[in-house]
Amino acid sequence: MSAEDSEKAYSSSAGDDVPEYAGERAVNKKAAERFGVFAPVMEKLFDYGVEARGVERVLENERDPKLLWNNLFMWWSVNCVLTTVPIGALAQAFFTLSFGNACATILCFGALGAAFTSGIATLGPKTGLRTMIIARFSSGYIGGIIYSIFNILTQLGFATTCVILGGQTLAAVRPDTLSLEGGVAIVAVLSVIPCFVGYELLHRYERYVWAPILLVMLFLWGLGGKAGYHVTAQKAFEDPAGRFLAGDVLSFGGIVFGSFTGWAPVAADYNCKLPVNTSAWAVFFMTFFGLYLPVCFISILGAALMTITNPVYVAAYEDGSMGGLIAQVLTPWGGFGKFLLVVLALSVIANNMVNTYSTGISIQALGRPFAVVPRMFWTLVGFIAYTIAGIVGREHFSDILSNFLSILSYWTAFFMVITLEEHFIFRRKGGPLGGYNLDDWDTPSKLPLGIAGILAGAIGVAGAVVGMAEVWYIGPIGILAGNPEFGGDLGFELAAIFAGVSYPFLRWLEIRLMGR
């Protein structure tokens, strides 16, 4: 297939030129044609249920209104998992916050992160596009590539923490017979299978899996109470009220915010098949509560488990991190407790499926040479990458989680602000552009040049740099926000403010000079 033929084949979406009622087989045959000599093999895979669509736009006649409730159940399942527990534990382990201040930080910063992410989710039904493709309408084709690279690293980072914690927990069930490496590999393999098949199987799984996992989380709350929560235990170690405490709250708040907004770059990926007239408020609130309730409930559980002062439980955490502590909490129930531990370990699959699927979509969004390669192939590439990373980093889970979520919040902050400002200021009805010309999604000459979006993103990076507070670097403003030794992390706040202030002016100038 020549480069010209490849471009022509790719520019046609899976449903283009297929009659409205032609049936799934006709759509699959059309989708397979762009793979040249591999078309017969791909058509067979598509007929067996493997998703044919990649980053192509979902046309209006291909939408399904029955999927609306998936906005709630999918995000609930994705976050009602074992990997959410350690987020709350970081409040005490890294920032010496008391249980009360940990809870307040989770609830407040969580609401902010969930609201921004839910706003991005509303763009899926409006456009029928994946999130990284929507970014092209604010930051141009090149800007979309830059964001896709960030998102690939983000999803692989999330996936790495999933397989490490899942592997830790499986290894804790049979410490003498299953190695940590083996646990990591098991979780990784089980995660990739449904993602290879695609969107429909992923949604079907996520629609129901939240219920049994929520029951296990309730068991954990009860068994932790039996072990003895001491909610004032960390009070003696907490920094005094004032600048030092504020720095701890800001730094932990950045991690909480990042745990929510890490889903923003994929939020539209999972509702782009909803009809265009779907209520934006319905999508917003279903996504908001699907994120906010489970993340807060389970993060606070993690913070509560850290208040157990029994030396056996403390030693379990020191020896086996959060997986070891949870195993100890379930010990009183004997064999049934070990069964619940296996269920919890495997719960991370619900989370990791989204990471794996969206990694493949984001690689396709890098441009046409990547998009002509089937989505399921890139899914396998992502699987190999995070499995290797999980095995290599298996002994450093808490450090990886803390640093990853902090940095994650920086870029997602300015990405969300730029994308939402484009939508509400420039694409609104009666605005400078008056809406989206969705047929232009893969035509660089008709998309924005992207200078405004890229420059505003760079200014957002500058805001993050001056406000961040990491172990390896503290910005000049971050150092003023907390303990002079550690600072206080204002990275995501300044990234959002710097980008939010600069983008409207830069975009107005771009439209005035370039006309698009």
23: left (phi over 0), alpha (psi -120 to 50) or beta: left
Rounded to an integer, the average pLDDT of 440-465 is 94
CATH number at residue 324: 1.10.4160.10
Backbone angles phi, psi at 469, to 5 degrees: -140, 95
Number of folded domains in the chain?
1
Q: What is the mean pLDDT of the chain?
A: 85
Domain annotation covers residue 422: no
Burial class (CB in 10 A: 0-12, 13-18, 19+), 108: middle
- Residue 243: pLDDT above 70? yes
**What is the DSSP-derived secondary structure letter of residue 156?**
H
Distance in angstroms (rounded) separating the CA atoms of residues 152 and 433 = 30
Domain annotation covers residue 8: no
- Residue 23: pLDDT above 70? no
Domain annotation covers residue 54: no
Domain annotation covers residue 25: no
Q: Over pLDDT 70: what percentage of the chain?
A: 90
Interacting residues of 444 by C-beta distance below 8 A, sequence separation 6+: 140, 141
**What pLDDT, on the 0 to 100 scale, is given for residue 10?**
38
Q: Are 101 and 256 in contact (CB under 8 A)?
A: no
* Least confident span in 91-100, 197-206, 224-233, 269-278: 197-206
**What pLDDT, on the 0 to 100 scale, is given for residue 24?**
55
Q: What is the pLDDT of residues 304-359, one digit of tens each?
A: 999 998 899 888 888 777 778 888 899 999 899 989 999 998 999 998 888 899 99
Domain annotation covers residue 455: no
Positive or negative, the Cα torsion across 86, 92, 95, 99? positive
**What pLDDT, on the 0 to 100 scale, is given for residue 171?**
81
Between the ranges 179-183, 290-294, 354-358, where is the mean pLDDT highest?
A: 290-294
Q: If DSSP codes are grouped into helix, strand and coil, which group holds residue 107?
A: helix
| Residue of 130, 247, 143 lying closest to 499 (CA atoms) | 143
Residue with the bigger pLDDT between 366 and 433: it is: 366
Q: Are 249 and 97 in contact (CB under 8 A)?
A: yes
Range of the domain at 97: 64-395
Rounded to an integer, the average pLDDT of 245-274 is 91
Domain annotation covers residue 445: no
Q: Are 90 and 398 in contact (CB under 8 A)?
A: yes
- Residue 166: pLDDT above 50? yes
Q: Are 396 and 179 in contact (CB under 8 A)?
A: no
Chain-centre distance of CA 181, in angstroms? Answer: 24
**What pLDDT, on the 0 to 100 scale, is given for residue 6?**
38
**What pLDDT, on the 0 to 100 scale, is given for residue 223?**
93
Domain annotation covers residue 32: no
**What pLDDT, on the 0 to 100 scale, is given for residue 8?**
40
Domain annotation covers residue 102: yes
Interacting residues of 48 by C-beta distance below 8 A, sequence separation 6+: none
